[in-house]
Structures are given as C-alpha cells and as structure tokens.
Amino acid sequence: MLIPEARLRARVRSLGQRIRADYRGREPVLVGVLQGSFVFMADLVRAIDLPLRCDFLRVSSYGERTDSSGRVRLVFGAAGSLRGKDVILVEDIVDTGITARRVLGMLRGVRPRSLRLCALLHKAGRTREAVRIDYVGFRIPDRFVVGYGLDFAGLYRNLPYLAALEGAGLGVQLSR
Ligand code: IMP
Ligand code: MG
C-alpha cells in the first residue's frame, strides 16, 4: 500500500477546489488520457463545482516497454473540438515526461485558449523531459505503482488505493 483510499480522496478533493478557484467563470474541458486516467478523472470532475466538459484521448508508445521509446502515437483524439477552449489535460502519472510533453504538443496544435496539465502522480526522479505540471496530486518515489486506474499488464486498475508492486524487477518493464 502506497496511498490509501482516504488520502487519495482528500487530495483529489483539494485539487478539484483549486481548479474550481482557478477556472471560475469559465467552462473548462478536461481531457483524460486513456486508459490510466479514467478513475482519477471520474473522481476529479465530481470534485470540481463548475460547468465543465469531459473528453478523452488515447495514445500508445511503440513497443511494450516501460522506458518510453519517445515515439508517442495518437490512437484516437478528443471527440469534440478543443479550439478556443480552456483545456486541462488529465494524466494518471508523469514518469519520464515523454508522453505528457508529446500530448501537450499535439493539443497546442489545435489552439486551445489555455492548456494546463493535471497529473495524479509524478515520479520526479525519472524525469527525462521537463514538463510543467500545473496540478499534481502526489510526488512518488521510483516504484512501479498500480491501482486507482493504473495497471500492470492490464490488471489492478480497480484497486481503490494505490499500491507499489513488490519485487518489481525487469518483469514490470513489460507492462506498458
Ligand atoms: P512517461 O511517458 O514515461 O511519462 O509515461 C507515462 C505513462 O507510463 C503513464 O501514463 C502510464 O501509462 C505509464 N506508467 C509510468 N509509470 C507507471 C507506473 O508506475 N505504473 C503504471 N503505469 C505507469
Ligand atoms: Mg497513461
């Protein structure tokens, strides 16, 4: 167990309150990166007391490796137009930073009015590409984590808390 359910709930609630304060009078569009962000996103939007919209996109890194290859491909994009919108990209975790940087770059290309990044987790020690995270839930050590939407080989997304995989050696490198 790394982060119990109650701590997740409290932190997500306070992120929601900050976003509400920052976006007062606006109608932001929260764009979740599938699949990992879906649990966080569901809780986060319910913690933001504002009119808002939800959208999702999906990316894949080439190859089944944990070390981002740096090649991030958009599998499907947001369903609605994000042009001129106040967009908040919602990620489960920023690890090397490669995925978030690529996706932010793609989103900038559709000319939103504003663009910010919200990530539940940040493995700061692994950053290879600097990325500014406007809203971060928890900074965590370099452990492979599962639960609350995050998976290992597709499993554990339904854990209501965040856990570190024990004995995580090279095997977990296959999980992406
Ligand atoms: P980055 O491009 O290295 O920042 O990778 C980010 C993506 O890798 C996340 O969106 C996750 O899908 C995945 N990822 C990185 N670390 C973990 C972890 O500890 N558990 C589960 N997925 C992870
Ligand atoms: Mg992800």
Write down the catalytic residue from 43, 86, 92, 95: 95
Distance from Cα 144 to the centre of ligand 1, integer Å: 9
Which residue in 52, 57, 15 sits closest to 36, CA to CA? 57
User: 134 CB contacts (<8 Å, ≥6 apart)?
Assistant: 88, 116, 117, 118
Residue 145 beta carbon below 6 angstroms from any ligand 1 atom = yes
Q: ∠ at Cα 69 (67, 73), nearest 5°?
A: 125
Mean pLDDT of 41-63: 91
- Report, as an integer, the average pLDDT of 26-46: 97
Identify the residue whose C-alpha is closest to ligand 1 atom 20.
145
CA 100 / ligand 2 centre spacing (Å): 9
CA gap 92, 82 in Å, rounded: 21
Amino acid at 52: L
What's the rounded mean pLDDT across residues 73-96? Answer: 90
- The dihedral region occupied by 148, where left means phi > 0, alpha psi between -120 and 50, and beta the remainder, is left
Q: How far is the CA of 124 from the centre of ligand 2 (A)?
A: 16
Q: Is 117's C-beta closer than 6 angstroms to any atom of ligand 1?
A: no
Pocket test for ligand 1, best of 72, 92, 126 (most atoms within 8 A of CB): 92
pLDDT score of 108 more than 80: yes
Can you give the pLDDT at residue 67? 53
Q: Quick check: 75 pLDDT over 90? A: no
pLDDT at residue 175 in the model: 42
Residue 16 burial (CB count, 10 A): 20
pLDDT number for residue 176: 41
Question: Which band of pLDDT confidence, cut at 50, 70 and 90, is reported for residue 68?
Answer: low
pLDDT band, residue 174 (cuts 50/70/90): very low
In whole angstroms, give the CA distance from residue 64 to residue 52: 34
Q: What is the pLDDT of residues 149-159, one digit of tens each?
A: 999 999 999 99
Q: Using the structure block, give the residue that is written with the tokens 């489960």.
A: 92
> Could you tell me the two tokens for 156?
């554990």
Confirm whether 95 is a catalytic residue. Answer: yes
The span from the CA of 173 to the CA of 87, in Å, is 32
Q: What percent of the chain has pLDDT over 90?
A: 77
Q: What is the pLDDT of residue 170?
A: 43
Kindly report, residue by residue over 122-135, the tens digit of the pLDDT: 998 888 889 999 99
Can you give the pLDDT at residue 171?
A: 46
Ligand that lies nearest to the alpha carbon of residue 72, given by its number in the listed order = 1
